[in-house]
Amino acid sequence: MDHVLSGVAKFRREVYPEKAESFRELADGQQPEVLFITCADSRIDPSLITQTQPGELFILRNAGNVVPPHSNDTGGMTASIEYAVAVLGISHIVVCGHTDCGAMKGALNPESLVTLPHVKEWLGHCRAAVEVVREQKGEVCAEHLDCVTSENVALQLQHLRTHPSVAAKLATGKVQLHGWLYNIGTGEVLCYDEATRSMTPLSGKSAAAGSVEA
């Protein structure tokens, strides 16, 4: 914890003064362009990966970068997605999975979650990804972790489309969906290609890179 506290002190002493004007502007509101949904894993830093500044990303994090399908039961993810799209007017939504994901390991082996009932129930939102891989491979095991992780990104994009605020903006072309997979070990970012149902290297050349058709 000491290094965290010293980091705060360094921020106030060295970082904030250099960006004071930007922070003063942000103090009056935010206008992020991108809703970035990713895993709560401590190894994932969205702003570092995307080299963005405060105010540019509206970030939602949870175990497994899950987007629960829309329902009448209000939850934090549902409310935050609705706010980002309907109020903040974001124009891009990224669902970013990552390699060596503990949540995906749990989804592959739900029996290991007996003592974690809430985690087990939450990862039920990833079950379809596991079943897709089972259908493709004939079975699922630890060696299929990357496949399940990729399929989970595609699944959560499907879930996003069930949210009324997202569906409305997709219908009018005001929002684009992007599925990404971040490789922790290599730093590479892959994007989901819905036409081929596969991950391909992200070009980074345009806002349309990695976009998924509605």
Whole-number Å distance between alpha carbons of 102 and 98: 10
Q: Residue 126, annotated ligand binder?
A: no
pLDDT of residue 209: 57
Q: Residue 101, annotated ligand binder?
A: yes
Residues of the chain with pLDDT under 50: 214
pLDDT of residue 163: 98
DSSP 8-state symbol, 205 = S
3-class DSSP assignment, residue 122: helix
pLDDT of residue 207: 57
Domain residue spans of the chain: 1-29, 31-212
Q: Residue 39, annotated ligand binder?
A: yes
Convert the pLDDT of each residue in 191-205 to its tens digit. 999 889 899 998 765
Q: Residue 2, annotated ligand binder?
A: no
DSSP 8-state symbol, 123 = G
Instruction: List, as own/partner pairs, every contact residues 129-137 make where C-beta atoms lie below 8 angstroms and the sequence separation is at least 24, other chains included.
Output: 129/154, 129/155
Could you identify the residue written with the tokens 């401590």?
A: 42
At 128, list the tokens. Answer: 């379809």
DSSP 8-state symbol, 163 = S
- The CA R_g of the chain, rounded to the nearest whole Å, is 18
Whole-number Å distance between alpha carbons of 172 and 193: 21
Rounded (10°) angle between helices 127-137 and 145-160: 130
pLDDT of residue 73: 86
Contact 199, 181 (CB under 8 A): yes
pLDDT of residue 210: 56
pLDDT of residue 214: 44
pLDDT of residue 188: 97
Class of 31-212 per CATH? Answer: alpha beta
Convert the pLDDT of each residue in 34-56 to its tens digit. 999 999 999 999 999 999 999 99
